[in-house]
């Protein structure tokens, strides 16, 4: 009971800290650092992050061996973290040396990194698990280190990590939108003053410049604000 309470207290503190990280990258780094330090047997940790068009990459990790184990999966297009991302919530391997499902991947991981066991958990926030943010990957140099208790703790940790990651992404999106609206408004103000036109006409000018140059509207606006030069319309 004492161990359960201790872990729950640590997890609560970690969850609060994750929600106060300044951006997505800092949140992800905190996730792997705390996972490796908190969960029994998880000597190395990484996050496989889903990008556009079902691409997956590893932006954060606590050890080069974890990164290599992930990269081999992307290279071979098979492995437990990819299964965790796309197919099921949790995927556990007790001993990579005898793992029958991913023979080529597991044998190379053992040979190149010395890793013997792994636990990958899908990061998701919707109840159905349809939208996957990625996977939290835990690795150990010892076989059979992820017992029932550790697996349960890892599931709870991954749930909090997914919420923190989604919040960080949402905040970054809102912050980006606010910056974009501010920059566009500033550019419109310059055009209104220089060309003696209305706000709607100024927005039309920016739109035409965006289409003609094949650049995003916010980039056109930012260039105008930074240089003060009004391109020929």
**Angle CA 87–58–172, to nearest 5:** 95
CATH match of 174-227 with 1.10.10.10: yes
42 Cβ contact partners less than 8 Å away, ≥ 6 residues apart = 35, 36, 119, 138, 139, 140, 150, 154
- What predicted TM-score, i.e. pTM, was given to this entire model? 0.74
When the candidates are 3.30.1280.10, 3.30.300.30, 3.30.450.40, 3.40.50.720, the CATH number that belongs to 2-170 is: 3.30.450.40
**Domain ranges in the chain with CATH number 1.10.10.10:** 174-227
> What are the beta bridge partners of residue 118?
93, 139
Q: What is the CA radius of gyration of the chain?
A: 23
**Region for residue 161 given its phi and psi (left: phi exceeds 0; alpha: psi -120 to 50; beta: otherwise):** alpha
- pLDDT-derived band at 12, boundaries 50, 70, 90: confident
pLDDT tens figures, 133-190: 999 999 999 999 999 999 999 999 999 999 999 888 888 777 778 778 888 898 899 9
Comparing 169 with 110, which gets the higher pLDDT?
A: 110
The answer, yes or no, to whether residue 1 has pLDDT greater than 60, is no
DSSP conformation letters of 143-195: TT---HHHHHHHHHHHHHHHHHHHHHHHHHHHHHHHHHHHHHHHHHHHHHHHH
Contact 82, 73 (CB under 8 A): yes
**Domain ranges in the chain with CATH number 3.30.450.40:** 2-170
Across residues 219-230, what is the average pLDDT? 86
Comparing 120 with 223, which gets the higher pLDDT?
A: 120
The answer, yes or no, to whether residue 111 has pLDDT greater than 80, is yes
């Amino acid at each position: 009971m004492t161990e359960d309470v201790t872990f729950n207290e640590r997890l609560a503190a970690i969850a609060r800290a994750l929600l106060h990280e300044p951006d997505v990258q800092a949140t992800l780094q905190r996730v792997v650092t705390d996972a490796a330090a908190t969960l029994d047997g998880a000597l190395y940790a990484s996050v496989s992050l889903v990008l556009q068009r079902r691409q997956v990459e590893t932006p954060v990790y606590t050890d080069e061996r974890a990164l290599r184990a992930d990269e081999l999966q992307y290279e071979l297009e098979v492995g437990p973290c990819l299964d965790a991302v796309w197919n099921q919530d949790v995927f556990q391997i007790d001993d990579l040396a005898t793992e029958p499902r991913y023979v080529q991947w597991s044998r190379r991981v053992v040979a190149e990194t010395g890793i013997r066991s792994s636990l990958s958990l899908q990061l998701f926030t919707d109840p159905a698990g349809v939208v996957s943010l990625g996977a939290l990957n835990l690795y150990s140099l010892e076989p059979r280190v992820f017992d029932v208790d550790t697996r349960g703790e890892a599931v709870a940790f991954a749930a909090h990590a997914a919420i923190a990651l989604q919040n960080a992404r949402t905040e970054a999106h809102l912050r980006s939108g606010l910056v974009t609206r501010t920059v566009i408004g500033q550019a419109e103000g310059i055009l209104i003053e220089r060309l003696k036109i209305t706000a709607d006409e100024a927005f039309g000018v920016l739109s035409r410049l965006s289409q003609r140059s094949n650049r995003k509207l916010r980039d056109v606006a930012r260039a105008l604000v930074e240089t003060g030069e009004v391109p020929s319309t």
